[in-house]
Chain A
Amino acid sequence: MRIHVNLASLKRTQWHEYLTRFLLGGAITVATGLIAKYFGPVVGGLFLAFPAIFPSGATLIEKHERDKKRRAGIPHTIRGRLAAALDARGAAMGTVALAAFGVVVWRFLPLHNAAVILAAALAVWFVLAIFIWQARKWRVLPPHKPEG
């Protein structure tokens, strides 16, 4: 399936669901700052990759998928859980790009312009995430042929 924008799915998300993520995002950013202040940048830095927002996003995806099936007259379904699993699989691929973001900032920030390095790290994250997404379809080994 090709990558595309689906505005209908944005309309399904209610304002309080966005508010929840805003509050969570703000809270984890404050918490990360406080942890770094009291325990130092090495421990605080771990929380720059804490999956704080992921549970709310996955729960939302499950709920939307379940509601869609209910409206179609299917009250019991595991489609929501499978959709959340797909989201988690995407996030797993994204973590490799997230680590690359960290490597770029760690290695290049002390010697170069900070704004340029943050922008470059974001670009590396984005390009690598798309590359990994595309690469999932490549075959590393040739298809198995039965003998005889």
Chain B
Amino acid sequence: MELLVRFLLGGLIVSLFAVISDGLRPKGFAGLFGAAPSVALATLTLTLLTDGKQYAALEARSMVAGALAFLAYALACVYLLAKKHFRAAPTTVAMLFVWGIFAFGGWALLSK
């Protein structure tokens, strides 16, 4: 039941931010919503209800490292799409490994 609530809440919040992003122009400004805290809002809300504030705060601390990894990922995508003219779908999926390297690198630093 908890997983179903998590799925529905996550889907709803992500869709809401996606609709807002689709309707905004210029495109670069709409892109800001590509990094909206939609999954974070859904997850933190449920975490607060089930595990409490301290647990949610710990998740938020790691989220900062995740956001900086997202920055590295987005910059890699900008370079490959704008300069190399690669196709969007394979580029944006393949570059997820950049996010992984930076996120877990950040996690390793936090764990020290």
Q: Are A55 and B93 in contact (CB under 8 A)?
A: yes
Q: How many residues of A contact B (CB 8 A)?
A: 80
Distance of B47 from chain A, by nearest CB (Å): 7
Tell me the chain A residues, 90-110 only, with Cβ under 8 Å from chain B.
Answer: 90-99, 101-103, 105-106, 109-110
14 contacts between A and B (CB under 8 A): A1-B26, A3-B26, A6-B25, A22-B12, A25-B14, A26-B10, A45-B63, A49-B63, A55-B96, A62-B87, A84-B92, A94-B35, A95-B70, A106-B60
Q: How far is the CA of A12 from the CA of B60 in the complex (A)?
A: 35
Q: Which among B13, B40, B45, B82 is the interface contact of A82 at CB below 8 angstroms?
A: B82
Instruction: Name the CB-closest residue of B to A94.
Output: B35
By the criterion CB–CB under 8 Å, are A46 and B106 in contact? yes
Interface majority SS (helix, strand, loop, mixed), chain B: helix
6 nearest A-B pairs in the assembled complex, by CB-CB distance:
A90-B31, A29-B10, A25-B14, A45-B62, A94-B35, A49-B66
Least Cβ distance of B44 to chain A in Å? 6
A45 to B72, CA, bound (A): 18
Task: For residue B107, give the distance in angstroms from its CB to the closest CB of chain A.
Answer: 6
Please report A residues at the B interface, Cβ cutoff 8 Å.
1, 3-7, 9-10, 13, 18, 21-30, 32-33, 36, 41-55, 57-59, 61-62, 78, 80-99, 101-103, 105-106, 109-110, 114, 118, 121-122, 125, 129-130, 132-133
Chain A: CB-nearest residue to B26: A1
6 new A-B contacts at CB < 8 Å, known A45-B63, A46-B66, A90-B28? A47-B39, A53-B38, A88-B77, A90-B32, A91-B77, A105-B63
Tell which of A29, A80, A89, A93 touches B43, judged by Cβ atoms closer than 8 Å. Answer: A29
* Contact status of A98 and B89, CB under 8 A, knowing A25-B11, A29-B7: no
A91 touching B35 in the complex, CB below 8 Å, given contacts A42-B111, A82-B81, A84-B81: yes
